[in-house]
Amino acid sequence: MNILDIIAKKRDKQELTEEEIKYFIDGYTKNDITDYQAAALIMAIFLNGMTDRETTDLTLAMSCSGETLDMSTLGEVIVDKHSTGGVGDKVSLILLPLISSLGVPVAKMSGRGLGFTGGTIDKLESIPGYRTAISMEQFIKNVKEIGISIISQTQNLAPADKKLYALRDAISCVENIPLIASSIMSKKIASGAQKIVLDVTVGKGAFMSNIGDARKLANTMIKIGKLANRETVCVLTNMDEPLGFAVGNSLEVIEAVKCLKGDMPEDLKEVILALGSQMLLLAGKGENLDENKNKLLENIENGKAYNKFIELVQRHGGDISYIEKLDKLPKAKYIEPIYSQTSGYIHDINAKEIGRLAGMLGAGREKKEDEIDPAVGVVLTKKIADKIERGDVLAYIHSNDMQKLEEAKKYFVQIVKIKEEKIEKPNIILEIKDLGTAP
């Protein structure tokens, strides 16, 4: 077998065998297959697709490309959560301590920003001292002792996905159903999750821009979950505008902490309750979704979720004084308001463009080696359907560079669309899919 034949086969729209997929994943993990060969094959997959069988084989090959974790020693069901990516998506920072405070153990491996989307690990690292790279022993110990640990994907766990994830980002091959499905499910399988709740984002700031593709992605991941014996539920959520108000790493930590203290934007609250109630259901902590939502709200109100977040940060070496006094977190040199030039109703705040704007300010990476600036980003003051008067503040831009600030201000004005006609608030929770509803 050789990689040139495999690339040619996919280039010519033929189906790859299980052995060929394994050969590719093995060779790429061991560096026997080069980045340019892998890039050619990934581009061929992107253009010509994969069958469900190929996607499952790719997932399983990636999931055992390194070590796998056995969480059964914890003696409790591990229910994991993952998002297909979004802008302003700080859900994990809020939902995971919340779930843990209700007695569901959380062992979560998160990612960094990809393309125009943000990543939980970059956000956590804006808390001084928080260590996202710890040993597997420490990871499991944290889960046993405090019921939660959130770390970055280690070199050893699904290393093939780690390499391919960075490669796809560098060659514009992120938005693809088999590649996203296999990337997410391989990590979840390798990290020992027994049950999985997936936030499948749909819209302008998501990798799936329409509901049809999002359904296909959800169905593919549910099928892979079934084959791998991991019950999987997908919640399809709207990502046309950023989730919540803040976009940028420490800005999102600030918003997340406020949410944990009860001050939650409506859209973020809906997503957290929808995902959280499903996680409690899968964990065997409650059959009734409405009751589950009430339990979640109760642990926000009584402070247990916030306390769990503090415990998590402390356990990972983070300095909790930055959480207790949020204005200690990294702050940009320039924070400037943007005023509306017209009156009317907000019809669009394109999440992808806002993600790009935050990236341009330094909140994301162009190349995988790039350092990110934790302090910069955008904080919106309005959301779609809000009424706006001329002269009202639309958002604040946080920048450490005057020239970038000026560019961002011009860019922002082009992104936000204001019209005279009233519009309805968009639906946030679009659909819920599980084994019973996936074809």
Binding site for ligand URA (CB under 6 A): 84-85, 111, 114, 165, 179-180, 183-184
Nearer to ligand URA (CB atom), residue 180 or residue 260: 180
Q: Identify the active-site residue in 10, 22, 81, 82.
A: 82
Q: CB nearest ligand URA: which residue?
A: 183
Nearest to 253, CA basis, from 109, 377, 149: 377
Shortest Å distance, C-beta 381 to ligand URA: 29
- CB-based burial of residue 177 (10 Å sphere; 0-12 exposed, 13-18 middle, 19+ buried)? buried
Nearest to 380, CA basis, from 281, 251, 262: 251
Q: Identify the active-site residue in 10, 81, 90, 168.
A: 168
Which tokens go with 51?
A: 């069958």
Shortest Å distance, C-beta 184 to ligand URA: 5
Q: Residue 58 contacts by C-beta under 8 Å, 6 or more apart in sequence?
A: 21, 25, 50, 178, 182, 186
Shortest Å distance, C-beta 161 to ligand URA: 7
82 is catalytic: yes
187 is catalytic: yes
Q: Are 109 and 191 in contact (CB under 8 A)?
A: yes
Q: Identify the active-site residue in 122, 161, 169, 434.
A: 161
Nearer to ligand URA (CB atom), residue 87 or residue 260: 87
Shortest Å distance, C-beta 208 to ligand URA: 10
Shortest Å distance, C-beta 62 to ligand URA: 11
Segment holding 2, helix H or strand E: none
Nearer to ligand URA (CB atom), residue 158 or residue 296: 158
Shortest Å distance, C-beta 180 to ligand URA: 4
Nearer to ligand URA (CB atom), residue 24 or residue 165: 165
Measured CA to CA, the distance from residue 213 to residue 269 in angstroms comes to: 25
Beta-ladder partners of 378: 247, 397
Beta-ladder partners of 201: 237
Q: Between the CA of residue 344 and those of 37, 201, 204, 244, 394, what are the distances in Å? A: 52, 28, 22, 21, 12
183 is catalytic: yes
Nearer to ligand URA (CB atom), residue 179 or residue 264: 179
Nearer to ligand URA (CB atom), residue 175 or residue 386: 175
Q: Identify the active-site residue in 187, 258, 356, 382.
A: 187
Nearest to 398, CA basis, from 375, 414, 419: 375
Say which residue the tokens 């040993």 belong to.
135
Which active-site residues does the annotation give?
A: 82, 161, 168, 183, 187
